[in-house]
Chains A and B, each alone.
Chain A
Amino acid sequence: MISRCQQGDQGAFKELFDQYHKRVYRIAYGVVRQREDALDIVQEVFIKLFRTIKNFKGKSNFYTYLYRVAMNQAIDYSRKMRKAPFLSLDQEEGFQPADIADRRPDHLASQKQFEERVGRAMGSLPEDQRATLIFREIEGLSYQEIAEAMRCSVGTVMSRLHYGRMKLRESLKEEWKGRGEK
């Protein structure tokens, strides 16, 4: 199928789209967390893929190549739009407990709010850690697959996951404790 796509076969490219568009959407939504933006990214990824698939040399798995293109496009998109989909925790205007009283279980965030909070905390991470976490936590890729998609070593993947999670934990431990007590 890939070689037919490389020869410009649009039918084969439609098959490729059907097979992979949901994976691309998950990556895109994981980065931008907005439906319309994620759809735009899916569209751009496949247009770009059609134009550049000739450059895929088959040295790696196609899906890791596609993940790289998708992550690349999603990061570019979020930079270009300057939407800052995840505000840093310091900039956040929404849920921000002002004092200890606000952290009582009855004031703590619901599951939805916690998800929102996690999304915002992700925005405060460096891009490489955020991308690694999205590959691992949302797509469930193995360390080896992430290393292939990000063109780095497995050790680097482990390090990025470790420090990314550590930062998220530090940002969210109060909310997490509150949820446990609720």
Chain B
Amino acid sequence: MKNSCSSVSRLLDRYFDHEATKKERIFVERHLTRCSDCQERLNLMEGLRASLRKPVEEALEKETFPWVWEKIEREIRLGKRPSWRESLRSWLDMTPLLRRKVWIPAVVTAVIFILVTAPILFKKSPSYLERSVVEYVESQTYNVMVYESEKAKVTVIWLFEGPDEESSPS
């Protein structure tokens, strides 16, 4: 492809579709007079259009739409309510073409949100309601204090050598 062809490349579509401005049309037409490649491209675009349109028009010409309205009318009379998916899609007015693009980021966002919030929501906070027992026993030699936690199965024993002295827990 020549350099000038690449500059015409996008314009050629708009020219072909009658969407180019007057200035663009003149530019493309000038180019076409001296470029057989782009002329050929334009011919191929015309050929493709005809090949896409012709079978459809031929089918439509022959078509009598047998019983189509009657079937629609019967369905309407039956008055089936649309499924929740149909209603939702209609309400959101989504096309399959859009659906993929909408749901991918939506699902990714939802998954990230769940991953971030789940550990916070389900994090185990330390419970202060565990049952525990504290006993204090006085004797002539040692005073003893015993702390027992039922759930964690922890027992701490303090020995007091004298009335005012404390030993470290054992």
Chain A residues engaging chain B, CB cutoff 8 angstroms: 10, 13-14, 17, 21-22, 25-26, 29-30, 33, 35, 38-39, 42-43, 46-48, 50-52, 55, 68, 71-72, 75-76, 79, 111, 114-115, 118-119, 122, 127-128, 131, 133-134, 136-138, 142-143, 150-151, 158, 161-162, 165, 168-169, 172-173, 176, 179-180
Contacts and interface: CB of A to CB of B under 8 A. Distances in A.
Contacts of A118: 48, 51-52
Contacts of B55: 29, 33, 115, 119
A76 B83 CA distance: 15
Contacts of A29: 55-56, 59-60
Contacts of A25: 60, 63, 65
Interface of B: 9-10, 13-14, 17, 19, 41, 43-45, 47-49, 51-56, 59-60, 63, 65-66, 68-69, 71-73, 75-76, 81-82, 86-87, 90-91, 93-98
A17 B76 CA distance: 13
A138 B59 contact: no
Contacts of B71: 43
A52 B72 CA distance: 14
Given A137-B52, A162-B13, A71 B93 contact: no
B56 A165 contact: no
Contacts of A168: 48
Given A39-B63, A75-B97, A169-B41, 13 more contacts: A21-B68, A35-B59, A43-B72, A47-B75, A72-B95, A72-B96, A79-B96, A114-B47, A114-B51, A122-B52, A136-B17, A169-B48, A172-B48
Nearest to B97: A128
Contacts of A150: 95, 97
Given A35-B63, A52-B82, A17 B72 contact: yes
Contact of A68 (B17, B54, B75, B95): B95
Contacts of B63: 25, 35, 39
A137 B60 contact: no
The 9 closest A-B pairs by CB, nearest first: A52-B90, A118-B51, A115-B51, A51-B82, A137-B52, A72-B95, A75-B96, A47-B75, A137-B49
B73 A10 contact: yes
Contacts, number: 126
B10 A162 contact: yes
A26 to B, nearest CB: 5
A79 B99 CA distance: 14
12 contacts: A10-B73, A29-B60, A30-B56, A71-B97, A115-B51, A115-B55, A134-B52, A158-B13, A161-B13, A165-B13, A173-B44, A176-B47
Contacts of A39: 63, 65-66, 68
Contacts of B59: 29, 35, 38
Given A38-B59, A42-B68, A76 B96 contact: yes
A25 B72 CA distance: 14
Contacts of A51: 81-82, 86, 90
Given A71-B95, A165-B48, A48 B82 contact: yes
A161 B17 contact: yes
